[in-house]
Structure 1
Amino acid sequence: MKLALRQGRLETLQFLRSRESVVFTIGFPVIMLAIFAAIFGGTEIDGGVTLTQYFVTGMIATGLMTVSFQNLGIWIPIERDRGVLKRYRGTPMPAWVYFAGKVLMILVIGFGTTAVLLLISVPFFGLHLPSTPGRWLAFAWVSLLGITACTLLGIAISALARTSRSGSAVVTPIALILQFTSGVFLVFTSLPSWMQSIAAVFPLKWMCQGLRYAFLPDSFATQEPAGTWELDRVALVLAAWCIAGLILCLTTFRWTTPRER
């Protein structure tokens, strides 16, 4: 456990020392939120919710996805290509410590990103914090299940990148497509029904829906596709992706590049 904590500290410091990663991971959701707020202002959706308030919940979800799925899908191939993973594998350090370090880093940065969004969104964009312990609990478990699923999927998808340069090309388009189809940049129910059906297969849509329950009033539930929050389904889909992501990690992760096998 001491090794895991030290590895987590090392991973966190490495992340924070990379200005590009910090700006993209923490700054991107804030910048996008500011842009949407400037464009839509106080425009209201049915249910007494403004578009800006709606977008905040999506930005929290996409921030969690960026720090986990996108970050790991890009950086693990870089470490693999540079021989970092091969050197780790050649040391007495247990393999699980490497992954524990990544998980700890993601939890720290994910918490920090969410905190920054909330600190900005409450005073400037009119976001209301969860009003009951039950909503705070929902916020916690949706975030935890969502970031767990995205972390495992980020580790799994890193196997698709054959070189350090191809990691971003593989992961970024997938992340952008999911953001546009999962209710992050657009109101989910305004999308074509076939697009909603496809997005409903993936975890980001359910992360957004669960966070809307935590932050938006009950009156907005009627604007969801099923007319309710469907919290049981949110939990089921996210838990299923956690299991699927773990299976994919165990069967696809590689410590070396294709040319070294």
Structure 2
Amino acid sequence: MSTGSVPRPRRPPVLPGVAALGLARTRYEVRTFFRERDAVIFIFAYPVIMLAIFATVFGSDGSSVDVGSTSIPFAQYFLPGMVATGVMLSSFQNLAISIAVERDEGGLKRLRATPLPAASYFVGKVGQVLTSSLLQVVLLLLVARLLFDVPLPESAGRWATFAWVFVLGTATGSVCGVAFSSLPRSGRSASAVVTPVVLVLQFVSGVFFQFDQLPAWMQHAAALFPLKWMAQGMRSVFLPDEAAALEPTGTWQHGLTAVVLLGWLAGALVLGVRTFRWRRRDDG
């Protein structure tokens, strides 16, 4: 009689963790993003083109922004606003539209039926935004330095300020984009719903004009939204210290910038958790 050993039951395979899946999803999202050539060209080229237009139009006669005895070339003055608006395009506008389209096409519904954790999906989206935003900012700074001779910061403190404003602004824009993506009724209407919001915020937040020359009521309205604070934070990086006199309070208000951005980040996170939909409105 055979007394062979009884085979041991196989252990179920161990699935990767949320972080590992999020990293894998980031790589997928980055590849997918760069395959959308129209969106990539617009997001990367828009801040560069706008900087070139404003620097050429306003600085063609050699005029500049004067602060006491300091003169700031228009290209240098508008660079921080272009950096801030580039971050908003890569984060808020990109995610608000792309997620709405994915939902409308049924991609989110199919993805929800897989073992991929929801957290890994959102980590992938934020990772893609950080990657594209960083590449976009590098391109914009290179153009500003090489074509318009804009001086870049030389102190480590200014670059440290740039780092936290960039990271916090990107995270805030990304979470706001995810939350806002539930508002469009369909993927086809997403661009029509999101783009006007972005344009209005750019006009009132000191991106296209000197912020101190805007009407007081417009300045107060802009202070309610994160783009104004991202632009102000970036101005503190790329403009001389004397330029703080052009701000409403005469200071850069770094602490308040962080508080406002964190407040929007937290509020959008709560709203997104409560309202995010994996299915279309007509799909139950």
- Please give the range of the TM-score, normalised by the shorter of the 2 chains: over 0.9
Task: Determine whether 1:45 maps to 2:65.
Answer: yes
- Asked if the contact 1:213–1:229 (Cα under 8 Å) also holds between the matched residues in 2, the reply is yes
Match of 1:237 among 238, 242, 260: 260
Q: Tell me whether 1:140 sits opposite 2:163 in the alignment.
A: yes
Q: Is 1:161 equivalent to 2:184 in the alignment?
A: yes
CA-CA distance at 1:132 after TM superposition: 1.5
Deviations 1:141-173 (A, max 9, x none): 011111111111100010001101111111100
2:27 maps to 1:9: yes
Task: Indicate the SS of the match to 2:181.
Answer: helix
> Residue 259 in 1 paired to residue 282 in 2?
yes
Task: Note the aligned Cα RMSD (angstroms).
Answer: 0.9
What is the letter of the counterpart of residue 178 of structure 2?
I
Select which of 128, 133, 138 maps to 2:151.
Answer: 128
Match of 1:197? Answer: 220
Q: Is the 8 A contact 2:29 2:125 kept in 1?
A: yes
What secondary structure sits across from 2:182 in the alignment? helix
TM-score, normalised to structure 2, is 0.90
* Cα contact 1:73–1:171 (8 A) shared by 2: yes
Q: Give the number of the structure whose alpha-carbon radius of gyration is greater.
A: 2
Within a 5 Å distance, the mapping from 1:58-69 to structure 2 comes to 58-69=81-92
Matching residue's letter, 1:236: V
Residue 126 of structure 1: CA displacement?
A: 2.8
Task: Please state how far the C-alpha of 1:129 moved relative to its aligned partner.
Answer: 1.5
The 5-angstrom pairing of residues 157-236 of structure 1 reads 157-236=180-259
* Mapped contact 2:161–2:237 kept (Cα < 8 A): yes
**Identity among equivalent pairs (%):** 49
Aligned to 2:40: 22
Partner of 2:172, secondary structure, is helix
Q: For residues 270 and 116 of structure 2, what CA distance do their matches in structure 1 show?
A: 23
Structure 1 unmatched ranges of 5 or more = none
Q: State the AA in 2 paired with 1:250.
A: V
The runs of 5 or more residues in structure 2 that have no matched partner are 1-18
CA contact (8 A) 1:46 1:223 kept: no
Alignment counterpart, residue 107 of structure 1, candidates 106, 118, 130: 130
Amino acid at match of 2:242: S
Tell me by how many angstroms 1:8 deviates. 0.7
Q: 1:32 aligns with which of 50, 56, 62?
A: 50
